[in-house]
C-alpha cells in the first residue's frame, strides 16, 4: 500500500481528484495518510476532513523564522512516513533537506507543458496569462518528480489542452485543470503505486 502525503495551499481541486480516484479505484493500492497546508484557511483542508483524512497546517507566520517553518514542515511529513509526497497546488519552495530526503519520492503538478511556461514565479493563473500573451495554440499540464530546481525534475506524464479563441486566463486554467491536471495527477500516482515508474539517467521510464 503506497502511503501518500498531499501538500496543498488553496482550493484543493487536485487533492479532490486524488481523493475521488482512490475512492473509485482509478488509483489502487494507495492510502492518503495526511494532508498538509501552509494556509490554515485553505479550502483543501475542508475537502480532506470531509473525506476523513487527517489534515494539518504549518503556517510560516506562526514560526519564528524560515528555519523553524522548514523544520516543522519536514516533521509534519516525516511523522506519517509517506512513501510519496504529492504537491497539489502547493505554492511554497521546498526546503533542500526535504528534497534530498525524499529524492524521486516527491511529485508536482504544473499547469503547462514543461519546459514551456515554468520556473521561478511562473505558477497558478500567471502560467495561463503568459500562454495567452505568447499566443500558443496548445498548452497542457505536467506531472514531474521534484528535484533541487524549480519545475526541473524528471517528467512523468503530460497532457495537451487546446487554447481557444477568446479564452480568458481563468477559462483556460479551468480547462487545463479539468482536461489535464485532474487526470494525469491521479494516473501518475496509480502508476507509482503499482511499481510501474522508474527514473534512469533523470528520464522516467513507465512499464
Out of 4, 6, 7, 10, the only residue in the binding site for ligand GRF (CB under 6 A) is 10
Nearer to ligand GRF, 82 or 111 (CB): 111
> For this structure, is 187 an active site residue?
no
Out of 2, 6, 14, 139, the only residue in the binding site for ligand GRF (CB under 6 A) is 14
Determine the Cα–Cα distance for residues 86 and 181; give it in Å rounded to an integer.
Answer: 13
Burial class (CB in 10 A: 0-12, 13-18, 19+), 128: buried
Do the beta carbons of residue 167 and residue 135 sit within 8 Å? no
- Quick one: which segment of 12-20, 23-31, 71-79, 97-105 binds ligand GRF (CB under 6 A)? 12-20
Q: How far is the CB of 110 from ligand GRF (least distance, A)?
A: 6
Which of 110, 128, 144, 187 is the catalytic position?
Answer: 110
Query: Apex CA 129: angle with CA 38 and CA 169, to 5°?
Result: 85
Out of 4, 109, 161, 163, the only residue in the binding site for ligand GRF (CB under 6 A) is 109
Binding of ligand GRF by 186 (CB under 6 A)? no
Determine the Cα–Cα distance for residues 6 and 87; give it in Å rounded to an integer.
Answer: 6
Out of 39, 73, 173, 197, the only residue in the binding site for ligand GRF (CB under 6 A) is 173
Q: Which of residues 71-90 bind ligand GRF (CB under 6 A)?
A: 88-89
Binding of ligand GRF by 12 (CB under 6 A)? yes
Please give the residue whose beta carbon sits closest to ligand GRF in the complex: 89
Out of 82, 102, 181, 204, the only residue in the binding site for ligand GRF (CB under 6 A) is 181
Q: How far is the CB of 77 from ligand GRF (least distance, A)?
A: 18
The interaxial angle of helices 43-50 and 13-24, nearest 10 deg, is: 20
User: Distance between the two ends of the chain, CA-based, in angstroms?
Assistant: 19
Handedness of CA 127, 129, 130, 134 (dihedral sign): positive
**Joined grid coordinates for residue 96:** 533542500
Do the beta carbons of residue 115 and residue 35 sit within 8 Å? no
Q: How far is the CB of 87 from ligand GRF (least distance, A)?
A: 7
Do the beta carbons of residue 27 and residue 21 sit within 8 Å? yes
The catalytic residues are: 110
List of residues contacting ligand GRF (CB under 6 A): 8, 10-15, 44, 88-89, 109, 111, 124, 173, 177, 181
Amino acid at each position: 500500500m503506497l502511503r501518500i502525503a498531499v501538500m496543498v495551499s488553496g482550493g484543493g481541486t487536485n487533492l479532490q481528484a486524488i481523493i475521488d480516484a482512490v475512492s473509485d479505484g482509478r488509483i489502487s493500492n494507495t492510502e492518503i495518510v495526511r494532508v498538509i497546508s501552509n494556509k490554515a484557511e485553505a479550502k483543501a483542508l475542508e475537502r480532506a476532513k470531509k473525506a476523513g483524512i487527517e489534515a494539518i497546517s504549518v503556517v510560516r507566520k506562526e514560526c519564528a523564522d524560515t528555519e523553524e517553518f522548514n523544520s516543522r514542515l519536514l516533521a509534519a511529513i516525516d511523522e506519517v512516513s509517506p512513501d510519496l509526497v504529492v504537491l497539489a497546488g502547493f505554492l511554497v519552495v521546498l526546503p533542500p533537506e526535504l528534497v534530498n530526503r525524499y529524492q524521486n519520492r516527491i511529485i508536482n503538478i504544473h499547469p503547462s507543458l514543461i519546459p514551456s511556461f515554468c520556473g521561478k514565479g511562473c505558477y497558478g493563473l500567471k502560467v495561463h496569462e503568459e500562454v495567452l500573451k505568447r499566443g500558443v495554440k496548445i498548452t497542457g499540464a505536467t506531472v514531474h518528480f521534484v528535484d533541487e530546481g524549480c519545475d526541473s525534475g524528471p517528467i512523468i506524464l503530460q497532457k495537451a489542452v487546446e487554447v481557444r479563441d477568446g479564452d480568458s486566463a481563468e477559462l483556460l486554467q479551468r480547462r487545463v485543470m479539468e482536461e489535464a491536471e485532474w487526470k494525469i495527477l491521479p494516473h501518475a500516482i496509480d502508476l507509482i503505486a503499482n511499481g510501474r515508474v522508474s527514473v534512469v539517467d533523470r528520464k522516467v521510464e513507465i512499464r
